[in-house]
Amino acid sequence: MLARPGAAALISAVATVSAGCAPAPPATASFSLEEATIADIGAAFDAGALSCAALVQLYLDRIAAYDDAGPRLNSIITVNSRALDRARQLDGERAAADARGPLHCIPVLLKDNIDTADMPTSNGSVILKDAIPPDDAHITRRLREAGALVLGKASLGEFAGGNSYNSVDGRTLNPYNLLRRASGSSSGSAVAVAANLAAVAVGTDTSTSIRGPASFSGIVGLRPTTGLISRDGIAPKNLTFDTAGPMTRTVTDAAILLSAIAGPDPADADGRNAEVYAAHPAGPAAAGLDYRQFLQRGSLQGARLGVARDYFGGDPEVDALAEMAIATLRDLGAEIVDPVTFDGSFVDGVRMIADYRFKADWEAYLATFGPEVPKTVARFLEIYETEVVQSALPVDAATLNLLQRAEATSTDHPDYVDLIENVLPTNTELKLALFETHGLDALIFPYHPSFAAPVRDPTFTADDPTYVGTNGVRSPSTLAGYSSVGFPSVVVPMGFGTQGLPMTIAFLARPYDEGKLVGYAYDYEQATMLRRPSPLAPPLPGETIEY
């Protein structure tokens, strides 16, 4: 009888060893920078195949090739000029057996409204392009203490506006189609992560500013309960709703990053952070909670997920991707409650009145800078209207409108008082009632009813006849934030349309249920693995290392 090929190979190997020949060399591992996770980088460090300095140089090379040249994605405003020096210091710590944890020498980008004492924090405004804060934001300090390397500052919509254009460096481009929008305002954070220009990034979200850009760039974005993360040292847009959050290529990396930046801070603005940790000292918002514990397959088993049907009906391709995601969730053991319908108009008009607080918050933030920085909304308006409006990168109308409204409003207005005392608490009750009425653990929906729209702004206008609009479908983006307590939400890649543009499925849960969301998102992600890197930023020579 002839031996099977596997048996023959085994017989040959035994004979070779018996003859005194050396055994075959052990199988090798490899590191690839493209799509590298925190764990991938850590394994290469541990094997001695990669140093922190070498890793940083690889990312700097990609920034030069794809952000500053090539497609010119324009996702990074400032690159840390001391990044390599810091990398060598972190290499020294590792050599001395003093690695600080999973984030040791993980290059992270911070949205450029998060204070860094060693780099400007522009908020996307040319008026602040050289403004260096007096100290780090709370989350910047936490990241540095965890060993993370701040690689630079990511671009954003000016004043954290809802697009990807600013007067410092123009528009950030979508990494899957340069003629389509990248969304805003954390556009640079999303695009840089999608194009593998950094390992992970931090964005901020007032209405949609983490999850929108994450969806248009096909990455994971997590908006936590408002106050779970300190806002100290983050330029305010609307502190009633503002929060920072992780923007990553995987749910695991989002959990690691969230664990590093979440925590109590007495310096957080308006006491929201203190309320969160006082209300849950040992519960879902406990100080020092490691969200990696929720990275469990089987997390969706028995979860009741309500399909928010009001947010379907834009682009048929987006709807088809969402239906496939729902089918997968059901296969993974989730109990699907379909439909869950409600009148989402309770969030309409909220933001306009909530922004009556902008002037006071913004001027309090400006007061932390030195005398070289203008200190009032009025002075910003004057510079914009007399100088910037005529420049090569003029201020956009949305920024001017924000500042003009801020000059004409205040928190003393009866409409603002009514919003805080009545409207937002009612909104919270209405959202919680959805969960209670249907016995839900989370709502699910396609994050945006259509793929990224064509670019249109003061310096760049594109058209794409293949674009399918929202067909009047309401965006679910403001559902998480516009209440007296912000609801956590995470978006996870659910695939690509025929034009090569990505979209995400969104999970929205009750306040302080970040752990549940991490588990659901991880279970879905691991079953599908639908994230794909940008074709406009392929690997460069030297990015794969065998070891």
As beta bridge partners, residue 243 has: 205
Q: pLDDT tens digit string along 377-410?
A: 999 999 999 999 999 999 999 999 999 999 999 9
**Domain annotation covers residue 543:** no
Known catalytic residue at 111: yes
Mean pLDDT of the chain: 94
pLDDT of residue 152: 98
What CATH code is carried by the domain that includes residue 528? 3.90.1300.10
From the candidates 51, 75, 183, 185, give the one annotated as an active-site residue: 185
From the candidates 186, 209, 483, 484, give the one annotated as an active-site residue: 209
**Domain annotation covers residue 12:** no
Distances in Å between the alpha carbon of 85 and those of 49, 379, 420, 434?
20, 38, 48, 52
- pTM (2 d.p.): 0.94
**Number of separate domains in the chain:** 1
Q: pLDDT tens digit string along 221-249?
A: 999 999 999 999 999 999 999 999 999 99
**Domain annotation covers residue 18:** no
Compute the average pLDDT of residues 115-120: 98
Compute the average pLDDT of residues 97-118: 96
**Domain annotation covers residue 100:** yes
What's the pLDDT band for 282 if we cut at 50, 70, 90? confident
Region class of 448: left (phi > 0), else alpha (psi between -120 and 50), else beta: beta
Domain that holds residue 496: 33-537
CB 528 within 8 A of CB 326: no
**Domain annotation covers residue 388:** yes
7 Cβ neighbours under 8 A, 6+ residues apart:
none
Environment class of 501 (CB within 10 Å of its CB; exposed 0-12, middle 13-18, buried 19+): buried
Joined together, the tokens standing for residue 181 give 């929008």
**Domain annotation covers residue 546:** no
Q: pLDDT tens digit string along 164-197?
A: 999 999 999 999 999 999 999 999 999 999 999 9
**Domain annotation covers residue 234:** yes
Q: pLDDT tens digit string along 316-374?
A: 999 999 999 999 999 999 999 999 999 999 999 999 999 999 999 999 999 999 999 99
pLDDT of residue 2: 34
From the candidates 51, 111, 187, 189, give the one annotated as an active-site residue: 111
**Domain annotation covers residue 23:** no
As beta bridge partners, residue 248 has: 220
pLDDT surpassing 80 at residue 4: no
Compute the average pLDDT of residues 115-135: 98
Q: pLDDT tens digit string along 55-71?
A: 999 999 999 999 999 99
pLDDT of residue 23: 60
Q: Is 23 or 424 the better-scoring residue by pLDDT? A: 424
- Burial profile 328-362: b = 16 or more Cβ within 10 angstroms, e = fewer: bbeebebbbbeebebebebbeebbebbbbbbbebb
Known catalytic residue at 516: no
CB 334 within 8 A of CB 467: no
Q: pLDDT tens digit string along 370-379?
A: 999 999 999 9
